[in-house]
Each structure stands twice: as structure tokens, then as C-alpha cells.
């Protein structure tokens, strides 16, 4: 039984949701989306990514978004950063949490971040140092935790090894991501069981895409293993520029409704969330 157990939702729509849209979403619209999400009770929002516009044009206004994003006593605004330069710029703009990203697939790492997995971990060392100096926590992402668009199925041991590398660096939370959304409940369970032998459930988050329409079933598998943090995107926006055919992230409204029906609390207002999701979907339509 779930009782009144609290589940934390990490809203990634303003970053992971919008980064794959072909039409440029205005800074004003991004800021409005963040405001609506915060008003709905989302306490953790990934607002942008301090990456080169050469690679992700949609995030070219990252400095303006970070500096103008709504603030709140109970709101943590996080930013994805690829390296030391991105971390410095994000902190200067007011980021309250950083996130770094690597992969359990060497092929995906090569195409997505242009280096090996080991090299990506080395890049994060100065990021961790800068974050510590400013009193900020760092979250780590492990992409392709189940499948890679280039290599196919990924061994659970590879996910565990990368997760341990991020933990040893000092990441306080590690999000294992079904980047292309092919994960089935059985395979998700096997992967999580392997990772949980080394990483406690309290340090893990799950990031599911809904390509195969099994994201909510996969959430249930994670819940059974005491994982209580999940990423989602308003309106199910998203995909991945380096994962052809990947559908969007699991929709925030869908996962919140699912959790509430199961007796979990999220602190999120369904009515306010519906307003935010309608706005998010209008951005896709306008694009």
C-alpha cells in the first residue's frame, strides 16, 4: 500500500520538452510556462540548458530565461550544463541546482556529447568543484539506461557502472533515463534491481519517455522499488535530438493523475497543472 507517501516530480518541460521543437519558442513563452508550472505547485523545474546554440538552438536564450525565471521559497530552478564553462555561466545567471549528463552507451555519448563516457565523467570534475564552492547540488543523468538507438539493448551492469561514477563524483541524485522509450516493465525492473545493489533508492530518479506507451507501468515498477522521484514534461513535450523516433517524456498531468489515484501525494494542483499543460501544448502547435 502506498499510504500517503510523497513522490517528487521534476518538471523538465522547459528544457527537455522544448529542446526538440523545430520552431523557436520565445523567451516570454518559456518564462510564462515556468510561471504556470510553479503556480501549479511544481517545486523542482529544469528551466533551461547552458549548452552551445550550435548544438541546441532552442536553448540559445538560456541566460535570459535563467535570469528572469520566477523564483519562490519552495522552488528549485535547475539547469543542465555540459562542462565547466556552462556551470560558471549558469551559476552567474542564478541557477539553484546543476545537472550533468552522460550515457550508458558509448555510441550515444559519442554522438550526443562528442566524447567517451569516461571523458564525460572527467569533464564533470570541475563542475562539481564549482558547484560545491557555491553551495549548489548537482544531479546526474544516465541516458540510454535501457536501450540505445545505435547499440540496441544496454546491459544493466553498464548503467550501474555509470551511476556509481556519478555518485562517486558527488552527484546527490542520479536519474536513469529510458531515452528512447522502449523499456518494458520487466526490463526496467531488471535494470533498477541491478543499480539498486549499489545506489540507494533515495538517490535514484527515473526519467521515462512514452514511445511504447508503457511509461506509467514503468513508474509503477520503480515505485515498488521505493523510488520516489520522477521526471516528466508538461503535455508530454519532448524527444531527443540524438535519438531518432523517440517520443516525448511522460506527461506531467498523466503521471500526477496516476500517482494521486494510487494514493501518493505530489503537492501539485491538478487544475493549475492542466492550465500549464494546455499552454505547453499550444507552444507545440504554434511551432
Cβ 199 vs Cβ 239: under 8 Å: no
User: What is the pLDDT at residue 7?
Assistant: 98
User: What is the pLDDT at residue 14?
Assistant: 97
Q: What is the 3-state secondary structure (H, E, C) of 221-275?
A: HHHHCCCCEEEEEHHHCCCCCCCCCCCCECEHHHHHHHHHHCCCECCCCHHHHHH
The length of the chain, given as a count of residues: 287
User: What is the pLDDT at residue 23?
Assistant: 87
User: What is the pLDDT at residue 4?
Assistant: 52
Give per-residue burial for 26-51: e unless 16+ CB within 10 Å, then b: ebebbbbbbbbbbebbbbbbbbbbbb
Please list the pLDDT of the chain residue by residue as tens digits (287 residues): 344 599 999 999 999 999 888 889 999 999 999 999 999 999 999 999 999 988 889 999 999 999 999 999 999 999 999 999 999 999 999 999 999 999 999 999 988 788 999 999 999 999 999 999 999 999 999 999 999 999 999 999 999 999 999 999 999 999 999 998 999 999 999 999 999 999 999 999 999 999 889 999 999 999 999 999 999 999 998 755 555 555 679 999 999 999 999 999 999 999 999 999 999 999 975 44
User: What is the pLDDT at residue 20?
Assistant: 81
- DSSP conformational letter for 60: T
Q: Are strands 137-143 and 76-80 parallel, antiparallel or unpaired?
A: unpaired
CATH architecture of 8-286: Alpha-Beta Barrel (3.20)
The residues carrying an active-site annotation are 240
Cβ 174 vs Cβ 124: under 8 Å: no
**What's the pTM value of the predicted model, to 2 decimals?**
0.94
Amino acid at each position: 500500500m502506498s499510504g500517503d507517501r510523497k513522490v517528487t516530480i521534476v518538471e523538465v518541460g522547459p528544457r527537455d520538452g522544448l529542446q526538440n521543437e523545430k520552431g523557436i519558442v520565445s523567451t516570454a513563452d518559456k518564462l510564462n510556462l515556468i510561471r504556470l508550472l510553479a503556480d501549479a505547485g511544481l517545486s523542482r523545474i529544469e528551466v533551461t540548458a547552458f549548452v552551445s546554440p550550435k548544438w541546441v538552438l532552442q536553448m540559445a536564450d538560456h541566460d535570459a530565461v535563467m535570469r528572469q525565471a520566477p523564483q519562490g521559497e519552495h522552488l528549485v530552478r535547475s539547469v543542465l550544463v555540459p562542462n565547466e564553462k556552462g556551470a560558471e555561466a549558469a551559476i552567474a545567471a542564478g541557477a539553484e541546482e546543476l545537472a550533468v549528463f552522460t550515457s550508458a552507451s558509448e555510441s550515444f555519448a559519442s554522438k550526443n556529447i562528442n566524447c567517451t563516457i569516461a571523458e564525460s565523467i572527467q569533464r564533470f570534475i570541475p563542475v562539481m568543484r564549482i558547484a560545491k564552492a557555491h553551495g549548489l547540488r548537482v544531479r546526474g543523468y544516465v541516458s540510454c539506461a535501457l536501450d540505445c538507438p545505435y547499440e540496441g539493448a544496454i546491459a544493466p551492469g553498464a548503467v550501474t557502472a555509470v551511476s556509481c561514477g556519478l555518485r562517486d563524483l558527488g552527484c546527490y541524485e542520479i536519474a536513469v533515463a529510458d531515452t528512447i522509450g522502449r523499456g518494458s516493465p520487466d526490463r526496467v525492473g531488471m535494470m533498477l534491481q541491478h543499480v539498486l545493489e549499489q545506489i540507494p533508492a533515495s538517490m535514484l530518479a527515473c526519467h521515462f519517455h512514452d514511445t511504447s506507451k508503457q511509461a506509467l507501468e514503468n513508474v509503477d515498477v520503480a515505485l515498488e522499488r521505493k523510488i520516489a522521484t520522477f521526471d516528466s514534461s508538461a503535455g508530454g513535450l519532448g524527444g531527443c535530438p540524438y535519438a531518432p523516433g523517440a517520443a516525448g517524456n511522460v506527461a506531467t498531468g498523466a503521471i500526477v493523475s496516476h500517482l494521486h489515484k494510487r494514493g501518493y501525494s505530489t503537492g501539485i494542483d491538478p487544475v493549475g497543472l492542466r492550465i500549464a499543460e494546455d499552454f505547453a501544448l499550444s507552444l507545440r502547435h504554434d511551432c
